[in-house]
Amino acid sequence: MTTTASTAAVDALVDWDLAVAAATRLTRPGPQVSRAEAADVVAVLRADARRSTPLVEQVTGLSTQPGEDVLVVDRPGWVRANVEAFRTLLAPVVEEAAGRRGGSLAPLVGAVGSRVTGAEMGSLLAFLSSRVLGQYDVFSSGGGRLLLVAPNVVHAERELAADPADFRLWVCLHEETHRVQFTASPWLRDHLTARVRALVSDLLDEPGAVLDRVLDALGRLPDVVRGDAATGLLDVVQTPEQRRALAEVTAVMSLLEGHADVVMDEVGPSVIPSVATIRRQFSRRRSGRGAPDRLLRRLLGLDAKMRQYADGAVFVRSVVDDVGTTGFNRVWDSPDTLPTPEEIADPAGWVARVHG
């Protein structure tokens, strides 16, 4: 990757090329398809993404411009896109952290090492690359863009024995909902970016303390693996203040994911005849991963995060039932109207606070 003055610091902290190389090497191959089949999948996903825009607007009551760029990628392409997004997200944070130390990155780089960091990031991205069906890449350098991972969509529809036409549109509805959320609420991207960068900045200001907490967390690893620990390793290495900040970011993510889940199901059988069957099969697939998958989710505390995403859908449905779609859309007014972590579990509390 090309290093500039604004990326020099973050490039010293993470070996991005190694991250891409490691992830590409470790990423499992996708399902077998012919060249013609692959071209057809790409064309259908692009068309379904465009088709999704008016359907999402009809359900949500939100209005925005149709999406221009839909990037249909393979697994290595998804890795490269996310490495670029992480680099863009972290570059100003690391540069500021280095500036506070007179330009020296020694405490940051010395705590772990750029190649170790790059290899670890590559391993995690390789694991995720076969599971992500799509995403709205809010942190990319050119603004948000819609990514759809074609081999994962094909793999999932085959595994579920789902109708390909229905399943592909269903996936696109979820990801297009995210695009509409961010483009209809222009402040949301800057707000989420600022909150994530603040979390990272806080960790970079105390690399030695973080390393101490990591070493302490490793002592609890057997309990986490057995499922006896109440939290994952990510929770253990954070201070109470950092856990609260992460909970607030997670509440926003719960809202976004829950809202997208509701929209993709609310479009209904008149558009996706097998929508109820797809949801039932997909939920069973999501909870029925193998032992390695469950172990990594436990280590990272992702099981709790997944439950919070389910809570997000409950929050959305409850608020819509109470005050209607227009009343729910107050969540998009400003950062002050976003639900707190407590309100995600207490929709009536959010309604009382925002609507009086």
pLDDT digits (tens, 9 = 90+) for 105-144: 555 555 557 888 888 889 889 988 998 999 999 888 777 8
Alpha-carbon gap, residue 98 to 72, rounded angstroms:
36
Q: Provide mean pLDDT across the span 286-305.
A: 51
Q: Provide mean pLDDT across the span 14-41.
A: 93
Least trusted range by pLDDT, from 80-94, 156-170, 223-237: 223-237
Place of tokens 């991963």: 289
Give the number of other Cβ atoms within 10 Å of residue 219's Cβ. 9
CA nearest neighbour of 132 among 151, 111, 108, 145: 151
Q: Provide mean pLDDT across the span 186-212.
A: 76
Pairing of strands 145-149, 70-73: parallel
More confident residue, 70 or 221: 70
pLDDT category of residue 340 using cuts at 50, 70 and 90: very high
Contacts of 116 (CB under 8 A, 6+ apart): none
Is residue 284 within 8 A of residue 160, CB to CB? The reply is no
What pLDDT was estimated at residue 206? Answer: 59
- Report the percentage of the chain scoring pLDDT > 90: 54
Phi and psi, residue 134, nearest 5°: -175, 175
Give, in order, the Cα–Cα distances in Å from 105 to each of 54, 112, 116, 164, 338: 48, 12, 16, 50, 36
> Of how many residues is the chain composed?
356
pLDDT category of residue 172 using cuts at 50, 70 and 90: very high
Alpha-carbon gap, residue 292 to 147, rounded angstroms:
26
Mean pLDDT of the chain: 82
Joined together, the tokens standing for residue 257 give 């994911």
What pLDDT was estimated at residue 171? Answer: 96
Q: Is 156 exposed, middle or buried (0-12, 13-18, 19+ CB in 10 A)?
A: buried
What are 298-307's contacts with CB under 8 Å, separation 24+?
A: 298/224, 298/225, 298/227, 298/232, 299/221, 299/224, 299/225, 299/232, 299/233, 300/232, 300/233, 300/234, 301/231, 301/232, 301/233, 301/234, 301/235, 302/232, 303/232, 304/231, 304/232, 305/250, 305/253
pLDDT digits (tens, 9 = 90+) for 201-255: 877 765 544 444 443 444 443 443 344 444 444 555 567 787 888 889 889 999 9
Residue ranges with strand state E in 11-94: 70-73
Phi and psi, residue 209, nearest 5°: -65, -40
pLDDT category of residue 146 using cuts at 50, 70 and 90: very high
What pLDDT was estimated at residue 124? Answer: 85
Alpha-carbon gap, residue 29 to 117, rounded angstroms:
24
Q: Residue 231 gets which letter from DSSP?
A: S
> The whole model's pTM is what?
0.84
- Report the percentage of the chain scoring pLDDT > 70: 77
Place of tokens 């490039």: 11
More confident residue, 102 or 351: 351
